[in-house]
């Protein structure tokens, strides 16, 4: 639903980087408006960190050591929300193992979240969520079951919204687990294959993270806590 922007990756020691106030203002203004901010870094240890937010509210995303991160959030009225998490750049076919805690109230997702280019696709493989209140209508495409669970599949379209290449129109792909969980394995290639059977084509993989997202939908705000570790 929300992210991101073009930013050269920065190599660093885990936990050793804190962006000073105003360090990336031109990037946030370019792709998300003057009230947004974003940070993306590549760390030793093989994990990629991404944190993006817009509008009012309080979003405290903490980049922990190794594959760990945590977040506490409270969105506000209007265009308000965040996405943050750890993963890989580029993304692609991978058995994603994670565990942790996730306690949302209001609109929120816990998902493997990523982008592809040519075509430009934003995708979610969602294991848990708060209120499902997307800002665009979803089209049901089907469902599938594997040893990792049963997932319902949807598509949606964002029109003139922020993306990894700037403000444009693009499709979103969704796999939503019917029985929620926090922790386990998500084999991303299995979802890519099932999407392909439904005519949902992906492009070349950009970044992919295990993300926590919270946002305001209409008059419904979001708050909660999340602490996730990749292994």
Residue 122 bears catalytic tag: yes
Helix/strand/coil percentages in the chain, nearest 5: 10, 55, 35
Residue 136 bears catalytic tag: no
Q: How many CB atoms lie within 10 A of CB 16?
A: 9
- How many angstroms separate the CA atoms of 148 and 141, rounded? 19
Residue for token pair 């979001």: 222
- How many angstroms separate the CA atoms of 115 and 194, rounded? 17
Q: Which of 29, 148, 194, 213 is catalytic?
A: 213
227 half-sphere exposure, CB direction, 13 A CA radius:
4
Helices (H) and strands (E) in the chain, counts: 2, 15
Q: Which of 29, 122, 136, 147 is catalytic?
A: 122
Handedness of CA 144, 175, 188, 45 (dihedral sign): negative
- Classify the phi-psi angles of 142: left when phi > 0, otherwise alpha if psi is within -120 to 50, otherwise beta: left
Active-site residue set: 122, 213
């Amino acid at each position: 639903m929300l992210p991101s922007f073009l930013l050269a990756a920065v190599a660093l020691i885990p936990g050793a980087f804190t962006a000073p106030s105003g360090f990336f203002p031109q990037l946030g203004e370019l792709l998300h408006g003057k009230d947004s901010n974003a940070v993306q870094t590549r760390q030793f240890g093989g994990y990629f960190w991404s944190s993006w937010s817009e509008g009012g509210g309080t979003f405290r995303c903490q980049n922990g050591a190794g594959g760990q991160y945590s977040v506490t959030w409270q969105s506000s009225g209007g265009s308000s929300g965040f996405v943050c998490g750890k993963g890989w750049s580029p993304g692609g076919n991978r058995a994603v193992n994670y565990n942790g805690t996730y306690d949302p109230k209001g609109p929120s997702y816990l998902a493997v979240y990523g982008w592809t280019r040519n075509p430009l696709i934003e995708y979610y493989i969602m294991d848990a969520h708060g209120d499902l209140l997307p800002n665009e209508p979803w089209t049901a495409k089907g469902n599938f079951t594997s040893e990792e669970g049963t997932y319902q599949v949807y598509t949606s379209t964002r029109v003139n919204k922020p993306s990894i290449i700037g403000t444009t129109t693009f499709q979103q792909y969704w796999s939503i687990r019917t029985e929620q969980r926090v922790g386990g394995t998500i084999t991303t290639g299995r979802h890519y294959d099932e999407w392909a059977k439904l005519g949902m084509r992906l492009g070349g993989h950009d970044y992919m993270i295990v993300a926590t997202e919270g946002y305001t939908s209409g008059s419904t705000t979001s708050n909660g806590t999340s602490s996730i570790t990749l292994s």
